[in-house]
Amino acid sequence: MRQQIETIRLAASAVLDPKKKGELGQFFTPVAIGSFMASLFENMTTEIRLLDPGAGSGSLTQSFVLEMINRKKTLSINSYTYDIDDRIVSFLLQSMELCSGLCEKNGVLFKNKHSLSDFIVSASEEDNDGFFTHVIMNPPYKKILSSSVHRKILRNIGIEAVNLYSGFVSLAINMLKDEGELVAIIPRSFCNGPYYKSFREQLINSMCIKNIHIFEKRNSAFSEDDVLQENIIIHCIKGVPQGKVKITSSPYADFFYDSESGVYTATDMTIREVEFSKIVNSNDKEMFIHIAANNRDQEIIDRLSLFSSTLSDLNLEVSTGPVVDFRLKDDLRQNIERGAVPLIYPIHLDATVHWPIVSKKPNAIFVSSSSANWLWQNRGCYVITKRLSSKEEKKRITATYYDSHLPSDLIGFENKLNVFHNNKSGVDELLAKGLYIYLNSSLVDKYYRQFGGHTQINATDLRALNYPSADLLCRMGTKLSQINITQSEIDAILDEELNIMHTDNHNPLHAQEKITQALDILNKLGMPRAQQNERSALTFLALLNLVPKTSWERIERPMIGVTPIMDWVKNNYGKEYAPNTRETFRRQTLHQFVDAGICLYNPDEPSRAVNSPKACYQIALELYDVLQKYNTQLWDKALSNYLSEKDTLVQRYAMEREMQMIPLILNDGTIINLSAGAHSQLIKDIITDFGPRFVPGAELIYLGDTGSKVNFFKKKRLEELGVKVNEKGKLPDVVLYWEEKDWLILIESVTSHGPVDGKRHNDLSELFKNSKAGLVYVTAFPDRRFMGKYLSDISWETEVWTADAPTHMIHFNGVRFLGPY
């Protein structure tokens, strides 16, 4: 059923306008995510009333029903779905029919009531408070304007929301009965900021947060829609006491059911359980929600919590730059002139302000009756940050120190800047220098990445940070002899103060530094991209027993197994991987390390059985000697000598791929190299065995190979035969033209996907409807045993050929032997 869920979802998504889909935040939930979400529900009661607002194609309701059936505890389910888009109603109804059929087979009563309406409008008019037992949702992400109808409706029922998703969740909470459960995939933006305070209050006061899942990459959840959004999955229960919270994280949304552990997991999933006080500080009036995926991230939060001053305590303010250039076009000047003053844009910022700069942006602004109110005093010292950072930048917050050295009494700061000031004037030099160090520290950057969740740094976010006291900032400022210092020097100044404040001199950034260094080494050793990740870096460090504070010259060569490696990572680097990720460590990191000569497998007993619990790994001695020189002047030469004697794994893999390519020589002498694999081998068999026997002398028009970057395609020749194709993906795997009979032979090569069934027959008929040649449909299988899986699906009026019996054909037409209809 999961494949059917996904098929319906993709078909529904295809009918939507991509531009409008983005504007509305209308992204349908992939079945892998839906299955994981459904698995989080704790109580599948005998009688369920399920709410799915913004249901789209119905994939979440389907995932819920499938989970419910698997648990075998429910007698009936009444499903209530809402969606405003009439173009996808047919897809949703198709999904509900599948649910109904599945429930009927399993003795469960299923009913669905679908409302083609705006959920916020409908829910405000209906009396459903406390009605639902379960809610599963992926609400739309569109912002709500203060003047919008939605804002007014929500305010009338006591809900303050700035985004549709928070409005949807707030309404759903009201509609849940006590002990009812909610699972939602929503943006992380509600976790901080004043705009979502009302929503956070309702969530925290009404619900018990049980589970939170974080996606480590912003494009994981809805990658096919190119959505760059920090999403989380949250599971809550209404009206029960708050206990510990389970936090999981994964870099990808590739959830799958692990039969060994009986739970849904994902590649490199981590897991931790924390007290609620670690997520929401009881003294925080704003109720900010801090989600740390691992102990190392938690340590960053805890370390920064040593600072407790607010900007108000420091007699400081931070504001968005007041000059909105398009509103003051007449006053903008490319260069300074009489009556004009400097205007600072992001392009002028580095460690200090570099002005003027030759660019398309102006360097000055004329002081007029229109602009004067937006200009500040050019005295004292300012600290400036950019409001926008790209995802590629190493740091989110980068501060610039400006000491009012430019020649004027006034100065303009453009709107894409955040400026720290005191009543629109600069502040004390030492205080500003200390603030410059603090904002540029790696600790603040790491904290903000957890806390902010986006690349736009708003003044509101900067106000929400905790800051060192004025005395501490000034003391740090005295240590800044020059502005252009290195990142490590900046961090050292802050670390020195933190170590005085805290007896436990444990710095979580030391762990991150070691991970970064390990990744650097793996890259230089030529490991493929698939092994240049944190899992592989931590495995590499475990093989060296290199803890965060230890230097590289003190590495070791322990013999260590997979589970001990994972335990070592948890104990020394604060990252607890789910137990069912052991095979990922083994198959996607350690196997490649062994192939690359980085480590040895069972060096103490090479004949040890593969499944032995004593299986172990050890860093190779040759590499060990080289790694001891890392971060020294001898490193580059030692690495160069090592690499000159050893092929990198990337090169070796490339050579192996070339060796495994399947050569195919066509009748005209053209050589095509197909990628290795069962599918490509079957395609070769079609060309070399099927073709000469059943369509001798046929011309190859198209050949698709799943592993090749470029398919063989005579597009113009196909157009001469009356067929114009825009998307190659719709073509069958092989297309042959047999001129002797004037037939086009359409062949599907089946090793993983299905044969020419009724639907595929119709699709191909439509695609080739203008063909001047007759059409023959063929399904090819590697052998008759494999064909048996698909016999009931094969369409009539088609042919079947198997590579293990190349001289025979099976006819699913009953009238003709290999001929068009």
Q: How many structural domains is the chain composed of?
A: 4
pLDDT value at residue 4: 72
Residue 306 structure tokens: 């040593």
Residues 774 and 726 in one domain: yes
| Cβ-contact 167, 203 below 8 angstroms | no
Question: Alpha-carbon distance 72 to 2, whole Å?
Answer: 18
821 within a domain of the structure (yes/no): no
Q: How many CA atoms lie within 13 A of 459 on its CB side?
A: 17
141 within a domain of the structure (yes/no): yes
pLDDT value at residue 228: 41
DSSP state of 690: I
Question: Alpha-carbon distance 737 to 719, whole Å?
Answer: 12
| Cβ-contact 443, 306 below 8 angstroms | no
The CATH number linked to 113 is 3.40.50.150
| Cβ-contact 617, 560 below 8 angstroms | yes
Question: Alpha-carbon distance 459 to 456, whole Å?
Answer: 10
Using alpha carbons, list the distances in angstroms from residue 16 to 7, 22, 83, 185.
Answer: 15, 10, 14, 21
Question: Alpha-carbon distance 794 to 120, whole Å?
Answer: 47
223 within a domain of the structure (yes/no): yes
Cβ-in-10-Å burial (0-12, 13-18, 19+) of 261 comes to exposed
Alpha helices in 373-466 (DSSP H): 429-440, 442-452, 459-464
| Cβ-contact 251, 220 below 8 angstroms | yes
Q: How many CA atoms lie within 13 A of 184 on its CB side?
A: 28
- Closest to 167 (Cα-Cα) out of 225, 124, 132, 210: 124
- Closest to 314 (Cα-Cα) out of 162, 505, 463: 463
Residues 460 and 539 in one domain: no
300 within a domain of the structure (yes/no): no
What is the spatial order of strands in the sheet that 132-137 belongs to?
109-116, 76-83, 47-53, 132-137, 176-187, 231-238, 207-215, 245-250, 270-274
| Cβ-contact 466, 305 below 8 angstroms | yes
Q: CB count, 10 Å around CB of 579?
A: 14
Length of the chain counted residue by residue: 821
Q: How many CA atoms lie within 13 A of 452 on its CB side?
A: 25
Question: Alpha-carbon distance 562 to 580, whole Å?
Answer: 12
307 within a domain of the structure (yes/no): no
Using alpha carbons, list the distances in angstroms from residue 80 to 53, 114, 172, 184, 463.
Answer: 8, 6, 12, 16, 42
Residues 719 and 795 in one domain: yes
Low-confidence ranges of the chain (pLDDT < 50): 220-228, 709
Q: How many CA atoms lie within 13 A of 342 on its CB side?
A: 18
Residues 255 and 327 in one domain: no
Give per-residue pLDDT as tens, 463-511.
888 899 999 999 999 999 888 889 989 999 998 888 777 655 567 778 8
Largest Cα span, the chain: 96
Which residue type is seen at 9? R
Residue ending a domain, among 501, 529, 556, is 501
Cβ-in-10-Å burial (0-12, 13-18, 19+) of 672 comes to buried
817 within a domain of the structure (yes/no): no
The CATH number linked to 771 is 3.40.1350.80
pLDDT value at residue 128: 85
**Beta strand pairing call for 207-215 and 743-749:** unpaired
pLDDT value at residue 221: 47
Q: Is the peptide bond before 187 cis (omega within 30 degrees of 0)?
A: no
| Cβ-contact 648, 526 below 8 angstroms | yes
Residues 187 and 156 in one domain: yes
Buried b (16+ CB within 10 A) or exposed e, 265-288: bbbbbbbbebeeebbbeeeeeebb
Which residues make beta-bridge pairs with 185? 233
Compute and round to an integer the Cα radius of gyration of the chain: 32
**Beta strand pairing call for 382-386 and 734-738:** unpaired
Residue ending a domain, among 501, 531, 546, is 501
DSSP labels for 745-811? EEEEE-SSS--S-HHHHHHHHHHTTT-SSEEEEEEEES-HHHHGGGGGGPPSS-EEEETTSTT--EE
Q: CB count, 10 Å around CB of 21?
A: 17
Residues 96 and 217 in one domain: yes
Residues 726 and 586 in one domain: no
- Closest to 587 (Cα-Cα) out of 539, 541, 655, 523: 539
| Cβ-contact 276, 244 below 8 angstroms | yes
Cβ-in-10-Å burial (0-12, 13-18, 19+) of 264 comes to buried
The CATH number linked to 538 is 1.10.10.1820
The CATH number linked to 420 is 3.90.220.20
| Cβ-contact 558, 616 below 8 angstroms | no
**Beta strand pairing call for 799-802 and 774-781:** parallel
3-state secondary structure of 148: coil
| Cβ-contact 399, 383 below 8 angstroms | yes
3-state secondary structure of 17: coil
Residues 642 and 529 in one domain: yes
Residues 568 and 492 in one domain: no
436 within a domain of the structure (yes/no): yes
pLDDT value at residue 23: 54
Residues 366 and 254 in one domain: no
Which distant-in-sequence residues (6+ apart) come within 8 Å of 314 by Cβ? 431, 467, 469, 470, 473
Residues 475 and 331 in one domain: yes
Residues 477 and 350 in one domain: yes
Q: CB count, 10 Å around CB of 145?
A: 10
751 within a domain of the structure (yes/no): yes
Residue 552's domain spans which residues?
A: 509-649
Give per-residue pLDDT as tens, 151-194.
889 888 888 888 899 999 999 999 999 999 999 999 888 888 77
Residue ending a domain, among 460, 485, 501, is 501
Question: Alpha-carbon distance 329 to 782, whole Å?
Answer: 70
